[in-house]
Amino acid sequence: MSVRVTELAEVGVTVLSRWIFNCYLVHDGGDGRALIVDPGLPSTTAAAIAMIEAAGGPKPVVVATHGHVDHVGGLPDLHAFGAQVCLPRRIRDYLAGETPRGPGLPEIAKVRSILREQPWDFGSVFEIARTGRHTGVGGGTARFPNGADHWLAHGDEVPGAPAWQVIQVPGHTDDSLALWNPTTGVLLSGDAVLSRKGRAWFTPEVCDPESAALTEEQLRMLPVGHLLPGHGQPVVGNGLMDRALSPQQRP
Contact set with Zn ion (CB under 5 A): 68, 191
Least distance to Zn ion, CB of residue 20, Å: 11
CB of 195 vs Zn ion, minimal distance in Å: 15
Distances (CA, A) of 132 to 60, 122, 139, 211: 23, 15, 10, 27
Least distance from Zn ion to the Cβ atom of residue 242, Å:
25
Smaller CB separation from Zn ion, 121 or 205: 205
Among residues 163, 205, 251, which one has the least CA distance to residue 66? 205
Q: Specify the residue, 160 or 232, whose C-beta has the smaller distance to Zn ion.
A: 232
Question: Toward Zn ion, which CB reaches closer, 18 or 68?
Answer: 68
Return the closest-CA partner of residue 144 out of 218, 66, 199, 210: 66
Q: How far is the CB of 204 from Zn ion (least distance, A)?
A: 13
> CB-based contacts of 25: which residues, under 8 Å, 6+ apart?
13, 14, 15, 16, 34, 35, 36, 48, 51, 52
Residue nearest to Zn ion (CB): 68
Specify the residue, 52 or 206, whose C-beta has the smaller distance to Zn ion. 206
The nearer residue to Zn ion, 41 or 52, going by C-beta atoms, is 41
* Residues 169, 189 contacting (CB under 8 angstroms): yes
Task: Give least dist CB 236 to Zn ion, A.
Answer: 23
Alpha helices in 82-119 (DSSP H): 89-95, 105-109, 112-115
Instruction: Give 121 or 191: the residue with its C-beta nearer to Zn ion.
Output: 191
135: left (phi over 0), alpha (psi -120 to 50) or beta: beta
3-state secondary structure of 104: coil
Helix ranges, 33-74 (H): 42-55, 69-72
Q: How far is the CB of 46 from Zn ion (least distance, A)?
A: 22
**Per-residue DSSP letter, 18:** E
